[in-house]
A and B are shown apart, each in its own frame.
Chain A
Amino acid sequence: MPSFDPVAIRSDFPILSREVGGKPLVYLDNSATTQKPLSVIDALSRFFSHENANIHRGVHYLSREATNAYEGAREYVKAQIRVPDTHEMIFVRGATEGMNLAAHCLASRVSEGDEIVLTIMEHHANIVPWQVLAAKTGAVLRFARLRDNGELDLDEWKSLFSARTRIAAFTQVSNVLGTVNPVVEMVAFAKEREVLTLVDGAQALPHGSVDLTEIGSDFYAFSGHKIFAPDGIGGLCAPREILDSAPPYQTGGDMIEKVTTEGTTYRKSPERFEAGTPNISGAVGLAAAFRYLEGIDRAAAAAYEESLAVHAAEELVKIPGIRIFGTAPGKAAIVSFHYSAAHPHDVGTILDTEGVAIRVGHHCAQPLMDYLGVPATARASFAFYNNESDVEAFLRAMRKVERYFG
């Protein structure tokens, strides 16, 4: 039975007990990357101590075992996020590579004058690959706007669809606003119009389980490092039919069927898009992270981290001059704010002297910053291993900012 104990869970994450600059670490930069539980660290150590070999090519015992670990990780993760039978999951470096690979696979399906619908809350990783595709094909990008509370204006988003719309790409959860988009409804709307969909799941998986069969999107991308797994591994889930008819992405070993001096034929996915030796240990670590999450009651964990974020936000706005970006109902545990008396960089520096790690800057979402009318924000983002004393330390440090700048 999955369970959630906010006190016990902290001891699963060794890094949480360290100090920074003589203060206990208060890690509130979870949207940038999450910390790793011992079970993931141990899984990597076990892999390198017992199973390490190259995959898919050796006849020897260890290579078979490593291949099983790698392919076993793929099947296990696919089952955890319920990838439909029609789809395959390519191991990629992370959501960024996932979106680039998706845009690559779709290049031949887009022509001049076709339209791609995005939203203004996207991370650069879900904007720039489409800009590149548009520049190559002559396609046009359309950006949907937001309501004042940071929610997508769904009516406006729908009104952007035309007979020329080919692709709609959108994030499930905003890394700045915490807004949770109604992806099931959005995918269904696009599907009715035969528009291909990509969901950026980078910030969704950290805050709850996802069910790709229910979401129904063509593409879904995520990063392992944001869900307690190592960096350099992630997944792009996509229809086999699209993957196997797309040209190769990188070429080399493992992705070929037959190479002669006349030419080469390519394997089907997933190998088609995994040229060379892949991140084998990363896949093992990713599976270990999902195994760790399987033991956690994700709904209880999400409610807990949201309560921390709500408390932090409620106290934060008591400081005159604080403005919070993103107040949509049901938002994820991310608190982005601007303080009129101090630039986010100054906020970040002062918080750092109290051991409080937050992100300040444009969060790789400059179009959203422009839209909100700020160059940057400060962002405290929570995970289920944070606690009330983290919130208190954050608020204490914010009052220190106020003493300097208020």
Chain B
Amino acid sequence: MDDNLEDLYQEIILSHNKRPRNEGILDPHDSEAEGYNPLCGDRLQVYVKLAGPTIQAVQFTGQGCAISRASASIMTEVVKGMDEHSLDAKIAEVMELLTAKEEPMIDPLELGELAALLGVRKFPARVKCATLAWHTLAAALKQSGSITTE
């Protein structure tokens, strides 16, 4: 159990939780969305600035657990330069990462800091915490307003 816990709360996760990158309202922004996890009552706002079809900057605000904050923080750096299509592909990859039964066959180097989220796999109850920011960003891009994890 403790090994799993060490994997979940790796230094990278804890440090992103404590000092998230790109936290705060992005001013100005082209689009925003709110994500809501009804299970725990956490709310997360994601703000996007676009340059044409590509993401120029993403920031977030809101309350959340270490997993959701770290995931949001890492996301804000990973998605820069992506368009809606490549973001969808990235989200699919993150979902695979978080829910795969077997150790995913992905090169950790290629994953970068996202690899820190691999530990969530052993805690199925926490997967929604890790995906909230990503789904909220996708909603912001699609301008669909608000989403929930349910």
Contact = CB atoms under 8 A, between A and B. Distances in A.
Nearest to B63: A375
20 contacts: A23-B1, A343-B42, A344-B65, A345-B65, A345-B67, A346-B9, A346-B65, A349-B123, A349-B125, A349-B126, A353-B1, A353-B2, A353-B5, A361-B40, A369-B41, A375-B40, A375-B42, A375-B43, A376-B41, A404-B9
Interface string A383-406: 000000000000000000000110
Interface size class of B (residues with CB under 8 A): 20 to 34
A353 B42 CA distance: 23
Q: What 4 pairs across the A-B complex have the smallest Cβ distances?
A: A343-B65, A345-B65, A362-B41, A353-B1
B95 interface: no
Nearest to B1: A353
B66 A405 contact: yes
Given A362-B41, A366-B41, A345 B4 contact: no
Given A353-B1, A404-B14, A346 B42 contact: no
A25 interface: no
Interface in B16-53: 39-43
B129 A345 contact: yes
Contacts of B43: 375
A159 B4 CA distance: 54
B41 A361 contact: yes
Contacts of A21: 1
A343 B66 contact: yes
A360 B65 CA distance: 11
A342 interface: yes
A327 B67 CA distance: 31
Contacts, number: 53
Contacts of B125: 349
Contacts of B66: 342-343, 346, 405
Contact of A344 (B2, B4, B8, B40): B40
Contacts of B65: 342-346
Nearest to A22: B1
Interface of B: 1-2, 4-5, 8-9, 14, 39-43, 63-67, 123, 125-126, 129
Nearest to A369: B41
Contact of A361 (B8, B14, B39): B39
A81 interface: no
A375 B41 contact: yes
Contacts of B67: 345-346
A215 interface: no
Contacts of A349: 5, 8, 123, 125-126
A242 interface: no
Contacts of A346: 9, 65-67
Contacts of A376: 40-42
A345 B69 CA distance: 12
A350 interface: yes
A111 B129 CA distance: 44
Nearest to B2: A353
Interface in A311-354: 342-346, 349-350, 353
A10 B88 CA distance: 53
A52 B133 CA distance: 52
Nearest to B126: A349
Nearest to B5: A353
Contacts of A344: 40, 65
Contacts of A366: 41
Contacts of A362: 40-41
Nearest to B39: A361
Given A345-B40, A353-B4, A360-B40, 13 more contacts: A342-B66, A343-B42, A345-B65, A346-B66, A350-B5, A353-B5, A361-B41, A366-B41, A369-B41, A375-B40, A376-B40, A376-B42, A404-B5
Nearest to A342: B66
A195 B87 CA distance: 58
Contacts of A22: 1
A321 to B, nearest CB: 13
Contacts of A404: 5, 9, 14
B132 to A, nearest CB: 12
Contacts of B64: 343
A100 B43 CA distance: 29
A289 B5 CA distance: 38
Nearest to B42: A375
A21 B126 CA distance: 17
A353 B123 CA distance: 11
A22 B2 CA distance: 11
B104 to A, nearest CB: 22
A344 B64 CA distance: 9
Contacts of B9: 346, 350, 404
Interface string A353-373: 100000011100010010000
**B8, B40, B125, most chain A CB atoms within 10 A:** B40
B19 to A, nearest CB: 13
A77 B27 CA distance: 62
